[in-house]
A and B are shown apart, each in its own frame.
Chain A
Amino acid sequence: MPGWLADLLWTYQNVVYALGINGLLALSMYVVLAVGQLSLGQAAFMGLGAYCSAIMTLKLNLPFLVVLPVSCAAPVAFALAIGVPTLRLSGVYLAIATIGLGEVLRAVYLNVDWLGGALGLSGIPEQADFWMIYGLLGAALAVLWLIGRSGIGRAMEAVREDETAAQVMGIDVARYRLGALVASAVLAGLAGALGAHTSSFIGPNEYGFEPAVSILSFALLGGIGTPAAPVAGAWILTLLPELLRGLSDLRLVFNGVIIVIVVLFLPEGLLAVRMRRRAA
Protein backbone atom coordinates (compact mmCIF):
# COMPACT_ATOMS: atom_id res chain seq x y z
CA MET A 1 0.00 0.00 0.00
CA PRO A 2 1.51 3.38 -0.92
CA GLY A 3 2.20 5.80 1.89
CA TRP A 4 -0.46 8.37 1.03
CA LEU A 5 -3.14 5.69 0.84
CA ALA A 6 -2.07 4.30 4.19
CA ASP A 7 -2.31 7.81 5.68
CA LEU A 8 -5.73 8.41 4.16
CA LEU A 9 -6.94 5.06 5.40
CA TRP A 10 -5.68 5.77 8.88
CA THR A 11 -7.37 9.18 9.03
CA TYR A 12 -10.71 8.12 7.56
CA GLN A 13 -10.62 4.46 8.53
CA ASN A 14 -14.20 4.30 9.74
CA VAL A 15 -15.62 5.90 6.61
CA VAL A 16 -13.48 3.78 4.30
CA TYR A 17 -14.60 0.59 6.03
CA ALA A 18 -18.24 1.72 6.08
CA LEU A 19 -18.14 2.40 2.33
CA GLY A 20 -17.00 -1.15 1.63
CA ILE A 21 -19.40 -2.80 4.05
CA ASN A 22 -22.37 -0.73 2.91
CA GLY A 23 -21.42 -1.61 -0.67
CA LEU A 24 -21.80 -5.29 0.20
CA LEU A 25 -25.13 -4.57 1.88
CA ALA A 26 -26.32 -2.70 -1.21
CA LEU A 27 -25.47 -5.76 -3.32
CA SER A 28 -27.35 -7.94 -0.88
CA MET A 29 -30.41 -5.76 -1.50
CA TYR A 30 -29.74 -5.75 -5.24
CA VAL A 31 -29.94 -9.53 -5.68
CA VAL A 32 -33.45 -9.75 -4.23
CA LEU A 33 -34.73 -6.67 -6.05
CA ALA A 34 -33.27 -8.14 -9.24
CA VAL A 35 -35.82 -10.97 -9.09
CA GLY A 36 -38.67 -8.63 -8.19
CA GLN A 37 -38.81 -9.37 -4.47
CA LEU A 38 -38.96 -6.82 -1.69
CA SER A 39 -37.14 -8.08 1.37
CA LEU A 40 -36.36 -6.01 4.42
CA GLY A 41 -34.34 -8.78 6.02
CA GLN A 42 -30.89 -7.62 4.99
CA ALA A 43 -30.23 -5.95 8.35
CA ALA A 44 -31.37 -9.11 10.14
CA PHE A 45 -29.07 -11.24 7.98
CA MET A 46 -26.26 -8.80 8.72
CA GLY A 47 -26.99 -9.05 12.45
CA LEU A 48 -26.87 -12.84 12.30
CA GLY A 49 -23.51 -12.69 10.53
CA ALA A 50 -22.23 -10.15 13.05
CA TYR A 51 -23.35 -12.05 16.17
CA CYS A 52 -22.21 -15.44 14.86
CA SER A 53 -18.81 -14.14 13.91
CA ALA A 54 -18.37 -12.24 17.17
CA ILE A 55 -19.29 -15.31 19.24
CA MET A 56 -16.90 -17.49 17.25
CA THR A 57 -14.10 -14.99 17.71
CA LEU A 58 -14.74 -14.09 21.35
CA LYS A 59 -15.79 -17.42 22.81
CA LEU A 60 -14.12 -19.96 20.54
CA ASN A 61 -11.03 -17.97 19.55
CA LEU A 62 -11.26 -19.17 15.96
CA PRO A 63 -9.12 -17.46 13.29
CA PHE A 64 -11.03 -14.83 11.30
CA LEU A 65 -10.53 -16.57 7.97
CA VAL A 66 -12.50 -19.50 9.38
CA VAL A 67 -15.03 -17.28 11.15
CA LEU A 68 -15.87 -15.22 8.07
CA PRO A 69 -17.24 -17.99 5.80
CA VAL A 70 -18.84 -19.94 8.66
CA SER A 71 -20.74 -16.88 9.91
CA CYS A 72 -22.72 -16.87 6.65
CA ALA A 73 -24.29 -20.20 7.56
CA ALA A 74 -26.75 -18.73 10.07
CA PRO A 75 -28.21 -16.08 7.74
CA VAL A 76 -28.43 -18.69 4.97
CA ALA A 77 -30.34 -21.05 7.26
CA PHE A 78 -32.75 -18.24 8.17
CA ALA A 79 -33.12 -17.24 4.51
CA LEU A 80 -34.15 -20.80 3.66
CA ALA A 81 -36.50 -21.04 6.63
CA ILE A 82 -38.22 -17.78 5.78
CA GLY A 83 -37.95 -18.13 2.01
CA VAL A 84 -39.47 -21.55 1.41
CA PRO A 85 -42.90 -20.71 2.88
CA THR A 86 -43.08 -17.07 1.71
CA LEU A 87 -41.64 -17.03 -1.80
CA ARG A 88 -44.79 -18.36 -3.37
CA LEU A 89 -46.51 -15.28 -2.06
CA SER A 90 -45.93 -12.05 -3.88
CA GLY A 91 -45.61 -8.38 -3.09
CA VAL A 92 -45.34 -7.22 0.48
CA TYR A 93 -45.60 -10.60 2.21
CA LEU A 94 -41.89 -11.31 2.10
CA ALA A 95 -41.19 -7.75 3.24
CA ILE A 96 -43.44 -8.18 6.26
CA ALA A 97 -42.05 -11.62 7.09
CA THR A 98 -38.49 -10.29 6.94
CA ILE A 99 -39.31 -7.26 9.11
CA GLY A 100 -40.72 -9.78 11.59
CA LEU A 101 -37.51 -11.79 11.45
CA GLY A 102 -35.49 -8.67 12.26
CA GLU A 103 -37.63 -7.80 15.25
CA VAL A 104 -37.61 -11.37 16.62
CA LEU A 105 -33.84 -11.51 16.40
CA ARG A 106 -33.49 -8.11 18.06
CA ALA A 107 -35.56 -9.38 20.97
CA VAL A 108 -33.36 -12.49 21.19
CA TYR A 109 -30.11 -10.46 21.24
CA LEU A 110 -31.62 -8.18 23.90
CA ASN A 111 -32.74 -10.93 26.20
CA VAL A 112 -30.07 -13.60 25.96
CA ASP A 113 -27.30 -12.70 28.40
CA TRP A 114 -24.85 -14.97 26.64
CA LEU A 115 -25.25 -12.71 23.60
CA GLY A 116 -24.50 -9.63 25.66
CA GLY A 117 -28.10 -8.51 26.18
CA ALA A 118 -28.78 -4.80 25.83
CA LEU A 119 -25.08 -4.02 26.32
CA GLY A 120 -24.13 -5.95 23.21
CA LEU A 121 -20.81 -7.64 22.64
CA SER A 122 -17.66 -5.60 22.99
CA GLY A 123 -13.94 -6.18 22.72
CA ILE A 124 -14.21 -7.83 19.31
CA PRO A 125 -10.67 -7.72 17.86
CA GLU A 126 -10.32 -5.61 14.70
CA GLN A 127 -9.41 -8.45 12.41
CA ALA A 128 -11.07 -7.29 9.19
CA ASP A 129 -8.90 -5.08 7.05
CA PHE A 130 -9.14 -2.91 3.98
CA TRP A 131 -8.11 -5.71 1.62
CA MET A 132 -10.61 -8.22 2.93
CA ILE A 133 -13.49 -5.76 2.69
CA TYR A 134 -12.68 -4.39 -0.73
CA GLY A 135 -11.55 -7.78 -2.04
CA LEU A 136 -14.94 -9.26 -1.17
CA LEU A 137 -16.82 -6.24 -2.52
CA GLY A 138 -14.88 -6.44 -5.79
CA ALA A 139 -15.42 -10.18 -6.08
CA ALA A 140 -19.16 -9.85 -5.37
CA LEU A 141 -19.49 -7.09 -7.97
CA ALA A 142 -17.62 -9.13 -10.57
CA VAL A 143 -19.62 -12.31 -9.93
CA LEU A 144 -22.95 -10.46 -10.04
CA TRP A 145 -21.89 -8.67 -13.21
CA LEU A 146 -20.95 -11.93 -14.95
CA ILE A 147 -24.18 -13.58 -13.83
CA GLY A 148 -26.20 -10.55 -14.91
CA ARG A 149 -24.92 -10.80 -18.45
CA SER A 150 -25.59 -14.54 -18.76
CA GLY A 151 -28.80 -16.47 -19.28
CA ILE A 152 -29.26 -16.42 -15.51
CA GLY A 153 -29.35 -12.61 -15.55
CA ARG A 154 -31.93 -12.71 -18.33
CA ALA A 155 -34.03 -15.17 -16.36
CA MET A 156 -33.80 -12.94 -13.27
CA GLU A 157 -34.99 -9.93 -15.22
CA ALA A 158 -37.79 -12.00 -16.76
CA VAL A 159 -38.95 -13.07 -13.29
CA ARG A 160 -38.92 -9.44 -12.18
CA GLU A 161 -40.84 -8.19 -15.21
CA ASP A 162 -43.53 -10.85 -15.59
CA GLU A 163 -43.59 -13.88 -13.34
CA THR A 164 -46.14 -15.81 -15.40
CA ALA A 165 -44.43 -15.19 -18.72
CA ALA A 166 -41.11 -16.16 -17.09
CA GLN A 167 -42.60 -19.45 -15.95
CA VAL A 168 -43.78 -20.18 -19.47
CA MET A 169 -40.20 -19.57 -20.68
CA GLY A 170 -39.27 -22.59 -18.56
CA ILE A 171 -37.88 -20.56 -15.65
CA ASP A 172 -38.34 -22.07 -12.19
CA VAL A 173 -39.48 -18.84 -10.53
CA ALA A 174 -39.48 -20.15 -6.95
CA ARG A 175 -35.96 -21.51 -7.32
CA TYR A 176 -34.65 -18.20 -8.65
CA ARG A 177 -36.29 -16.27 -5.83
CA LEU A 178 -34.96 -18.61 -3.17
CA GLY A 179 -31.51 -18.56 -4.76
CA ALA A 180 -31.52 -14.75 -4.73
CA LEU A 181 -32.58 -14.64 -1.08
CA VAL A 182 -29.80 -17.06 -0.11
CA ALA A 183 -27.23 -15.04 -2.07
CA SER A 184 -28.54 -11.95 -0.33
CA ALA A 185 -28.10 -13.65 3.05
CA VAL A 186 -24.51 -14.60 2.22
CA LEU A 187 -23.60 -11.04 1.22
CA ALA A 188 -25.30 -9.49 4.26
CA GLY A 189 -23.77 -12.10 6.55
CA LEU A 190 -20.30 -11.27 5.23
CA ALA A 191 -21.00 -7.56 5.70
CA GLY A 192 -22.13 -8.23 9.27
CA ALA A 193 -19.05 -10.26 10.15
CA LEU A 194 -16.75 -7.67 8.58
CA GLY A 195 -18.60 -4.87 10.37
CA ALA A 196 -18.31 -6.60 13.75
CA HIS A 197 -14.59 -7.07 13.23
CA THR A 198 -13.93 -3.46 12.32
CA SER A 199 -15.92 -1.70 15.02
CA SER A 200 -15.04 -3.87 18.07
CA PHE A 201 -18.60 -3.53 19.39
CA ILE A 202 -22.00 -4.77 18.24
CA GLY A 203 -25.40 -4.21 19.85
CA PRO A 204 -28.95 -5.40 19.28
CA ASN A 205 -30.19 -2.07 17.90
CA GLU A 206 -27.72 -1.93 15.05
CA TYR A 207 -29.67 -4.50 13.05
CA GLY A 208 -33.26 -3.39 13.45
CA PHE A 209 -35.79 -1.69 11.20
CA GLU A 210 -33.87 1.54 10.65
CA PRO A 211 -30.77 -0.03 9.07
CA ALA A 212 -33.09 -2.28 7.04
CA VAL A 213 -34.63 0.82 5.49
CA SER A 214 -31.27 2.48 4.87
CA ILE A 215 -30.08 -0.61 3.02
CA LEU A 216 -33.19 -0.45 0.86
CA SER A 217 -32.53 3.24 0.20
CA PHE A 218 -29.03 2.42 -1.14
CA ALA A 219 -30.64 0.45 -3.96
CA LEU A 220 -33.48 2.95 -4.42
CA LEU A 221 -31.01 5.79 -4.83
CA GLY A 222 -28.56 4.03 -7.12
CA GLY A 223 -31.04 1.90 -9.03
CA ILE A 224 -30.71 -1.75 -9.98
CA GLY A 225 -29.83 -1.44 -13.67
CA THR A 226 -26.35 -2.82 -12.97
CA PRO A 227 -24.75 -4.16 -9.76
CA ALA A 228 -22.59 -1.03 -9.64
CA ALA A 229 -25.65 1.22 -9.28
CA PRO A 230 -26.72 0.19 -5.74
CA VAL A 231 -23.08 0.34 -4.61
CA ALA A 232 -22.90 3.91 -5.88
CA GLY A 233 -26.13 4.62 -4.01
CA ALA A 234 -24.61 3.20 -0.83
CA TRP A 235 -21.48 5.32 -1.24
CA ILE A 236 -23.45 8.52 -1.75
CA LEU A 237 -25.63 7.85 1.28
CA THR A 238 -22.59 6.91 3.37
CA LEU A 239 -20.53 9.94 2.37
CA LEU A 240 -23.35 12.46 2.48
CA PRO A 241 -23.65 12.65 6.28
CA GLU A 242 -19.87 13.12 6.48
CA LEU A 243 -19.94 15.92 3.92
CA LEU A 244 -22.95 17.55 5.56
CA ARG A 245 -21.53 17.60 9.07
CA GLY A 246 -22.18 21.34 9.16
CA LEU A 247 -25.91 20.73 8.98
CA SER A 248 -25.74 18.61 12.15
CA ASP A 249 -29.28 17.54 13.04
CA LEU A 250 -30.66 18.48 9.64
CA ARG A 251 -28.52 15.81 7.99
CA LEU A 252 -31.18 13.13 8.26
CA VAL A 253 -33.80 15.49 6.86
CA PHE A 254 -31.53 16.23 3.94
CA ASN A 255 -30.97 12.50 3.40
CA GLY A 256 -34.69 11.87 3.42
CA VAL A 257 -35.41 14.69 0.99
CA ILE A 258 -32.84 13.35 -1.47
CA ILE A 259 -34.44 9.90 -1.38
CA VAL A 260 -37.93 11.32 -1.90
CA ILE A 261 -36.71 13.39 -4.86
CA VAL A 262 -35.03 10.39 -6.45
CA VAL A 263 -38.04 8.13 -6.01
CA LEU A 264 -40.34 10.78 -7.51
CA PHE A 265 -38.23 11.98 -10.40
CA LEU A 266 -35.76 9.17 -11.08
CA PRO A 267 -37.70 5.97 -10.35
CA GLU A 268 -34.95 3.92 -12.00
CA GLY A 269 -32.33 5.42 -9.67
CA LEU A 270 -29.42 7.76 -10.30
CA LEU A 271 -27.61 5.21 -12.48
CA ALA A 272 -30.43 4.07 -14.71
CA VAL A 273 -28.17 2.38 -17.25
CA ARG A 274 -29.36 -1.11 -18.08
CA MET A 275 -26.73 -3.78 -18.65
CA ARG A 276 -26.62 -5.87 -21.80
CA ARG A 277 -27.94 -9.29 -21.00
CA ARG A 278 -25.84 -11.37 -23.31
CA ALA A 279 -22.35 -12.69 -23.31
CA ALA A 280 -21.76 -13.29 -27.00
Chain B
Amino acid sequence: MTALLQTRGLTRRYAGLLAVDNVDMTVRANTVHALIGPNGAGKTTLFNLISGLAAPTQGSVLLDGRDLTALPAEARTALGVARTFQGVRVFGAMTVLENVLTGLHARRRTGLWAAVARTPAFRREERAMVERARAVLEMVDLAARAEQRAGALSFGEQRRLEIARAMAPSPMLLLLDEPAAGMNPAETASLAALVRRIRGLGTTVLLVEHDMGFVMDISDVVTVLNFGRLIFQGPPAETRAAPEVLEAYLGHKVAARLAELAERSSS
Protein backbone atom coordinates (compact mmCIF):
# COMPACT_ATOMS: atom_id res chain seq x y z
CA MET B 1 0.00 0.00 0.00
CA THR B 2 1.47 3.30 -1.04
CA ALA B 3 0.98 6.59 0.73
CA LEU B 4 -1.04 8.98 -1.44
CA LEU B 5 -1.15 11.86 0.98
CA GLN B 6 1.30 12.64 3.72
CA THR B 7 1.44 15.54 6.13
CA ARG B 8 4.72 16.10 7.92
CA GLY B 9 4.78 18.12 11.12
CA LEU B 10 1.85 20.12 9.80
CA THR B 11 1.10 23.06 12.09
CA ARG B 12 -1.22 26.05 11.82
CA ARG B 13 -1.23 28.69 14.52
CA TYR B 14 -3.92 31.38 14.79
CA ALA B 15 -2.88 34.13 17.23
CA GLY B 16 -1.86 31.85 20.08
CA LEU B 17 -4.24 29.02 19.19
CA LEU B 18 -2.71 25.91 17.69
CA ALA B 19 -5.52 24.86 15.34
CA VAL B 20 -3.38 22.09 13.88
CA ASP B 21 -0.44 20.95 15.96
CA ASN B 22 2.41 18.98 14.43
CA VAL B 23 0.23 16.47 12.56
CA ASP B 24 1.92 13.55 10.79
CA MET B 25 -0.80 11.78 8.89
CA THR B 26 -0.60 9.25 6.08
CA VAL B 27 -3.50 8.45 3.79
CA ARG B 28 -2.96 5.31 1.76
CA ALA B 29 -4.00 5.16 -1.88
CA ASN B 30 -7.41 3.65 -2.69
CA THR B 31 -8.80 3.89 0.80
CA VAL B 32 -11.66 5.74 2.44
CA HIS B 33 -10.03 7.56 5.30
CA ALA B 34 -12.10 9.36 7.94
CA LEU B 35 -10.99 12.31 10.01
CA ILE B 36 -12.96 12.66 13.24
CA GLY B 37 -12.72 14.60 16.45
CA PRO B 38 -14.77 16.89 18.68
CA ASN B 39 -15.83 20.32 17.43
CA GLY B 40 -12.87 22.65 17.16
CA ALA B 41 -10.38 19.79 16.91
CA GLY B 42 -8.87 21.29 13.75
CA LYS B 43 -10.42 19.04 11.11
CA THR B 44 -11.56 21.78 8.75
CA THR B 45 -8.27 23.66 9.22
CA LEU B 46 -6.42 20.48 8.28
CA PHE B 47 -8.62 20.21 5.17
CA ASN B 48 -7.80 23.81 4.27
CA LEU B 49 -4.08 23.14 4.70
CA ILE B 50 -4.30 20.07 2.44
CA SER B 51 -6.37 21.79 -0.25
CA GLY B 52 -4.31 24.98 -0.13
CA LEU B 53 -6.95 27.40 1.15
CA ALA B 54 -4.78 28.06 4.21
CA ALA B 55 -1.00 28.13 4.51
CA PRO B 56 0.70 26.13 7.26
CA THR B 57 2.78 27.86 9.92
CA GLN B 58 5.10 24.87 9.72
CA GLY B 59 5.35 21.49 8.10
CA SER B 60 4.56 20.15 4.66
CA VAL B 61 1.89 18.40 2.59
CA LEU B 62 2.90 15.74 0.07
CA LEU B 63 0.69 14.21 -2.61
CA ASP B 64 2.07 11.08 -4.21
CA GLY B 65 5.53 12.11 -2.99
CA ARG B 66 5.29 15.60 -4.44
CA ASP B 67 5.57 18.58 -2.09
CA LEU B 68 2.45 20.74 -2.42
CA THR B 69 3.19 23.10 0.46
CA ALA B 70 4.19 26.11 -1.63
CA LEU B 71 1.41 25.68 -4.20
CA PRO B 72 -1.84 27.69 -4.19
CA ALA B 73 -5.19 25.86 -4.14
CA GLU B 74 -5.74 26.16 -7.90
CA ALA B 75 -2.40 24.45 -8.64
CA ARG B 76 -3.21 21.62 -6.22
CA THR B 77 -6.49 21.05 -8.03
CA ALA B 78 -4.59 20.63 -11.28
CA LEU B 79 -2.39 18.01 -9.58
CA GLY B 80 -5.38 15.97 -8.43
CA VAL B 81 -6.72 17.34 -5.14
CA ALA B 82 -10.49 17.97 -5.10
CA ARG B 83 -12.80 18.95 -2.27
CA THR B 84 -16.31 19.82 -1.20
CA PHE B 85 -17.29 22.30 1.50
CA GLN B 86 -19.14 22.17 4.78
CA GLY B 87 -22.68 23.13 3.89
CA VAL B 88 -22.81 23.39 0.11
CA ARG B 89 -21.19 25.80 -2.27
CA VAL B 90 -22.49 25.11 -5.76
CA PHE B 91 -22.66 27.98 -8.26
CA GLY B 92 -26.36 28.63 -7.80
CA ALA B 93 -27.02 30.76 -10.88
CA MET B 94 -25.39 28.26 -13.23
CA THR B 95 -27.08 25.18 -14.55
CA VAL B 96 -26.24 21.81 -13.04
CA LEU B 97 -24.23 20.87 -16.14
CA GLU B 98 -22.32 24.17 -16.14
CA ASN B 99 -21.33 23.54 -12.52
CA VAL B 100 -19.73 20.25 -13.49
CA LEU B 101 -18.12 21.84 -16.56
CA THR B 102 -16.58 24.43 -14.23
CA GLY B 103 -15.19 21.54 -12.20
CA LEU B 104 -13.33 20.50 -15.35
CA HIS B 105 -11.61 23.90 -15.57
CA ALA B 106 -8.18 22.53 -14.63
CA ARG B 107 -8.40 20.04 -17.50
CA ARG B 108 -8.95 22.73 -20.14
CA ARG B 109 -6.12 22.95 -22.66
CA THR B 110 -7.42 25.55 -25.13
CA GLY B 111 -7.12 29.23 -24.26
CA LEU B 112 -8.68 32.60 -24.90
CA TRP B 113 -7.90 32.87 -28.61
CA ALA B 114 -9.17 29.39 -29.36
CA ALA B 115 -12.43 30.30 -27.59
CA VAL B 116 -12.82 33.52 -29.60
CA ALA B 117 -11.86 31.89 -32.91
CA ARG B 118 -13.93 28.78 -32.11
CA THR B 119 -11.11 26.58 -33.40
CA PRO B 120 -11.76 22.88 -34.08
CA ALA B 121 -9.62 22.02 -31.04
CA PHE B 122 -11.79 24.26 -28.85
CA ARG B 123 -15.02 22.70 -30.14
CA ARG B 124 -13.67 19.20 -29.70
CA GLU B 125 -12.61 19.94 -26.15
CA GLU B 126 -15.93 21.55 -25.25
CA ARG B 127 -17.83 18.55 -26.65
CA ALA B 128 -15.62 16.11 -24.74
CA MET B 129 -16.14 18.11 -21.55
CA VAL B 130 -19.92 18.11 -21.92
CA GLU B 131 -19.80 14.36 -22.47
CA ARG B 132 -17.65 13.85 -19.39
CA ALA B 133 -19.89 16.15 -17.31
CA ARG B 134 -22.99 14.18 -18.31
CA ALA B 135 -21.30 10.91 -17.36
CA VAL B 136 -20.41 12.26 -13.91
CA LEU B 137 -23.97 13.55 -13.42
CA GLU B 138 -25.18 10.07 -14.31
CA MET B 139 -23.03 8.68 -11.50
CA VAL B 140 -24.67 10.92 -8.87
CA ASP B 141 -28.13 10.45 -10.36
CA LEU B 142 -28.58 14.04 -11.50
CA ALA B 143 -28.42 13.53 -15.28
CA ALA B 144 -32.10 14.38 -15.65
CA ARG B 145 -31.58 17.78 -14.03
CA ALA B 146 -28.58 18.82 -16.14
CA GLU B 147 -30.23 21.92 -17.60
CA GLN B 148 -31.81 23.17 -14.37
CA ARG B 149 -30.50 26.01 -12.26
CA ALA B 150 -28.25 24.54 -9.56
CA GLY B 151 -29.75 26.87 -6.95
CA ALA B 152 -33.16 25.29 -7.53
CA LEU B 153 -32.03 21.81 -6.46
CA SER B 154 -32.81 20.40 -3.03
CA PHE B 155 -30.08 20.45 -0.39
CA GLY B 156 -29.30 16.76 -0.83
CA GLU B 157 -29.13 17.17 -4.61
CA GLN B 158 -26.84 20.18 -4.30
CA ARG B 159 -24.50 18.11 -2.19
CA ARG B 160 -24.44 15.35 -4.81
CA LEU B 161 -23.81 18.01 -7.44
CA GLU B 162 -20.90 19.33 -5.41
CA ILE B 163 -19.43 15.83 -5.29
CA ALA B 164 -19.94 15.46 -9.05
CA ARG B 165 -18.25 18.81 -9.67
CA ALA B 166 -15.27 17.72 -7.56
CA MET B 167 -15.11 14.28 -9.23
CA ALA B 168 -15.33 15.62 -12.79
CA PRO B 169 -11.54 15.83 -13.35
CA SER B 170 -11.00 12.32 -11.83
CA PRO B 171 -8.93 13.58 -8.89
CA MET B 172 -6.43 11.40 -7.07
CA LEU B 173 -7.69 12.62 -3.71
CA LEU B 174 -11.20 13.78 -2.82
CA LEU B 175 -11.77 15.66 0.43
CA LEU B 176 -15.37 15.56 1.67
CA ASP B 177 -16.20 17.99 4.48
CA GLU B 178 -19.19 16.61 6.45
CA PRO B 179 -20.91 14.99 3.46
CA ALA B 180 -23.66 13.34 5.55
CA ALA B 181 -24.62 16.39 7.64
CA GLY B 182 -28.37 17.03 7.55
CA MET B 183 -29.12 13.84 5.62
CA ASN B 184 -31.81 11.30 6.50
CA PRO B 185 -30.86 7.60 6.90
CA ALA B 186 -31.85 6.73 3.32
CA GLU B 187 -29.79 9.59 1.93
CA THR B 188 -26.85 8.61 4.13
CA ALA B 189 -27.02 5.03 2.85
CA SER B 190 -26.95 6.17 -0.77
CA LEU B 191 -24.08 8.53 0.05
CA ALA B 192 -22.14 5.58 1.50
CA ALA B 193 -22.71 3.67 -1.73
CA LEU B 194 -21.51 6.68 -3.72
CA VAL B 195 -18.33 6.99 -1.63
CA ARG B 196 -17.58 3.30 -2.21
CA ARG B 197 -18.07 3.77 -5.96
CA ILE B 198 -15.71 6.72 -5.90
CA ARG B 199 -13.05 4.61 -4.21
CA GLY B 200 -13.72 1.92 -6.81
CA LEU B 201 -12.91 4.49 -9.53
CA GLY B 202 -9.42 4.89 -8.08
CA THR B 203 -9.99 8.12 -6.16
CA THR B 204 -8.85 8.09 -2.55
CA VAL B 205 -11.37 9.67 -0.19
CA LEU B 206 -10.54 11.64 2.95
CA LEU B 207 -13.63 12.75 4.81
CA VAL B 208 -14.57 14.73 7.88
CA GLU B 209 -17.81 13.50 9.40
CA HIS B 210 -19.71 13.53 12.68
CA ASP B 211 -22.13 10.71 11.79
CA MET B 212 -20.27 7.85 13.50
CA GLY B 213 -22.46 5.14 12.02
CA PHE B 214 -21.53 6.38 8.57
CA VAL B 215 -17.84 6.73 9.45
CA MET B 216 -17.57 3.24 10.95
CA ASP B 217 -19.50 1.79 8.01
CA ILE B 218 -17.42 3.07 5.14
CA SER B 219 -13.93 3.90 6.45
CA ASP B 220 -10.85 1.76 6.02
CA VAL B 221 -8.87 3.95 8.41
CA VAL B 222 -9.90 6.53 10.98
CA THR B 223 -7.74 9.40 12.23
CA VAL B 224 -8.78 11.16 15.41
CA LEU B 225 -7.84 14.76 16.15
CA ASN B 226 -8.23 16.56 19.45
CA PHE B 227 -7.04 20.11 20.17
CA GLY B 228 -5.23 20.08 16.82
CA ARG B 229 -3.21 16.97 17.66
CA LEU B 230 -3.44 13.55 16.08
CA ILE B 231 -4.34 11.30 19.01
CA PHE B 232 -5.21 8.05 17.29
CA GLN B 233 -5.13 6.37 13.90
CA GLY B 234 -6.35 2.89 13.06
CA PRO B 235 -9.16 0.77 11.66
CA PRO B 236 -12.73 1.70 12.73
CA ALA B 237 -13.18 -1.17 15.18
CA GLU B 238 -10.04 -0.26 17.12
CA THR B 239 -10.90 3.42 17.04
CA ARG B 240 -14.24 2.82 18.70
CA ALA B 241 -12.58 1.04 21.61
CA ALA B 242 -9.50 3.22 22.01
CA PRO B 243 -9.49 4.83 25.49
CA GLU B 244 -7.83 8.06 24.25
CA VAL B 245 -10.63 8.49 21.69
CA LEU B 246 -13.37 7.93 24.26
CA GLU B 247 -11.69 10.41 26.52
CA ALA B 248 -11.50 13.04 23.80
CA TYR B 249 -15.19 12.73 23.06
CA LEU B 250 -16.60 12.11 26.51
CA GLY B 251 -14.11 13.60 28.95
CA HIS B 252 -11.87 11.50 31.17
CA LYS B 253 -14.45 10.78 33.92
CA VAL B 254 -17.04 9.23 31.63
CA ALA B 255 -14.32 7.43 29.69
CA ALA B 256 -12.91 5.90 32.87
CA ARG B 257 -16.37 4.80 33.96
CA LEU B 258 -17.03 3.24 30.54
CA ALA B 259 -13.74 1.37 30.69
CA GLU B 260 -14.64 0.13 34.15
CA LEU B 261 -18.04 -1.08 32.94
CA ALA B 262 -16.48 -2.78 29.95
CA GLU B 263 -14.00 -4.58 32.18
CA ARG B 264 -16.71 -5.71 34.59
CA SER B 265 -18.94 -7.07 31.81
CA SER B 266 -16.07 -8.96 30.19
CA SER B 267 -14.93 -10.59 33.45
Contacts and interface: CB of A to CB of B under 8 A. Distances in A.
Interface string B117-135: 0100011001101100000
Contacts of A151: 101-102, 104-105, 108, 115, 126, 129
Interface in B150-176: 165-166, 169
Interface residues on B, range: 35 or more
Interface stretch (A126-134, A169-177, A248-256): A169-177
A interface majority secondary structure: helix
B interface majority secondary structure: helix
Contacts of A165: 85, 89-91
A152 B129 CA distance: 14
Contacts, number: 100
B261 interface: no
Contact of B98 (A146, A162, A166, A278): A278
Contacts of B122: 150, 279
A103 interface: no
A164 B53 contact: yes
A156 to B, nearest CB: 10
Contacts of B165: 169
Contact of B78 (A170, A173, A274): A170
Contact of B89 (A155, A164, A173): A164
Contacts of A263: none
Contacts of B72: 167, 172
A136 B122 CA distance: 25
Contacts of A124: none
A147 interface: yes
Interface in B19-78: 51, 53, 72-75, 77-78
Interface of B: 51, 53, 72-75, 77-78, 82-83, 85, 89-95, 97-98, 101-106, 108, 112, 115-116, 118, 122-123, 126-127, 129-130, 165-166, 169
Given A169-B102, A170-B74, A279-B126, 15 more contacts: A147-B115, A151-B104, A151-B115, A169-B74, A169-B77, A170-B75, A170-B77, A170-B105, A171-B102, A172-B74, A173-B74, A277-B94, A277-B101, A278-B97, A280-B130
